[in-house]
Amino acid sequence: MFRPLKVYFLPFLAQGHMIPFCQFARLFAARGLHVTIITTPVNTRFLESSVEEDKALGHHIHIHTIRFPSEEVGLPVGIENFFNVTDAHTADQFYEAAGLLRNQVEPFMERNPPDCIVSDFIYPWTAPIATRLGIPRIVFNSFCLFAVCMINAYKRQSQSQPELSHDHDHSGGPFVVSGLPEPITLTIRPPRLISGQLESLMEADQQNSYGLIVNSFNEMDGQDYIKYYQKITDLKVWHIGPASLTLRNTKPQKNHHDQTSKEHEYIRSWLDSKDYNSVVYVSFGSLCRFEDPQLLEIACAMESSGHSFIWVVHRESKKKNPRDEKDEKELWLPEGFEERMKKYSRGLILMKWAPQELILNHPATGGFLTHCGWTSVTEAVSAGVPMMTWPVFIEQFYNEKLITQVHGFGLEVGAEEWNSSPCERMKKVVSRVKIENAVRRLMNGGDEAEKVRNKAIEMKDKARKAVEENGSSQRNLTALIEDLKLTAMNRAASKHQT
């Protein structure tokens, strides 16, 4: 009998990458593989509770901690997660430090070679390591496959239409991305910088990887797009998500919200007091930080919409500001806003973090105002919550089109600015009129809202079927593991013969 496979996971050090990466690692360990997650001290503390829980179940999953090279790039000690990066200069230093992780990862892998590397696409340097060790490298890029196809199609279209790759006003009129299974209309064009960076990283991955794992399910991206990707890359692709839902289905005996609900009982109690589908959840992920004028527009829109809400705020901080937090709120909230929201039990404002899965899965939550980060999208789909889409940076505008144009389980707010990174300052403010209009369109009922809600429920049902015992995501995970086992046995046989 062949020994258990040994797989190393290397996530990029940001929440939107680490959360699904850890979930995938746990799924592999639950199938009997010996799994090691390689990360840094601060991020180890973020992951270790989940890992210890799985160890208690007898799963072989470990964290190998390596030093984050802060000193080499001039970063303060302790900044080891992109969540703590707030400006472009620090972002450049962070990416440089992430590249230097190779100096520790490579010797560790050479001393303790695995059977497979699951690498973040931001680490193209794992490709030559895998080649030298003679093992497969599987890529995870935290995007949906639809976004990957959009990036590829836009690149091809730009090569045939040079005017698309010039600097331009991104707020210009809509245009159609062609060459895909269906024409997709973008309201604004992607910035040249982000297009170039993503295209180069993906091109490197396509040339130096065994295949791609996706935090989604077949029915979400669609068979046409899966076939399109395989045709243009000749690579294997495995949809084994939504990772959080697959994991929950793998361990049904435990309530995965228990710890969170104990820590945030007041949120659960507040939601319990609300009617079915009456609350709007407003969150833009861990990296998007709005400045005061934009926060003020959101506050005014939510109040005038007449609907209850939970709002997670990431504010662009003002350094060395002598005001305390209470006075600071005067800069981005209408006068008396918090008092009115409390008096009528209309809204909760949470600073920086919220138990998102708990909120999305509560029956009172009827809509999600979101930046379209992929982890947030998969959690909303798993809960059957329709979305009001407000993309901000990187691939989020592509995700929006999958939500609104391809499947129809969301409505667009009307964002007009596509940023290259979360550290880029936003030049435009989305008006309270646009925000309120999107909230009312979804939450006030009517034919359009009913259609969107039905689509969200339909996609939730498909997601849940995908993670069932014989669902598409479970079959894909089985196929991937069997593929890796066969590759490892063939490699062992080849070594034995030589």
Alpha carbons 497 and 237: distance in angstroms, whole number:
31
What distance lies between CA 66 and its chain's CA centroid? 24
Of 318, 319, 314, 310, nearest to 287 by C-alpha is 314
- Whether the CB-CB separation of 97 and 69 falls below 8 Å is answered with yes
Q: Which of 17, 34, 170, 264 is catalytic?
A: 17
- Whether the CB-CB separation of 381 and 243 falls below 8 Å is answered with no
What distance lies between CA 168 and its chain's CA centroid? 28
- The verdict on whether 17 is a catalytic residue reads yes
- The verdict on whether 275 is a catalytic residue reads no
398 vs 202, 209, 392, 427, CA distance in Å?
Answer: 16, 24, 11, 21
- Whether the CB-CB separation of 377 and 388 falls below 8 Å is answered with no
199 vs 147, 354, 389, CA distance in Å?
Answer: 12, 33, 24
Beta bridge partner(s), residue 223: none
Q: Which of 54, 120, 205, 221 is catalytic?
A: 120
Which residues carry out catalysis?
17, 120
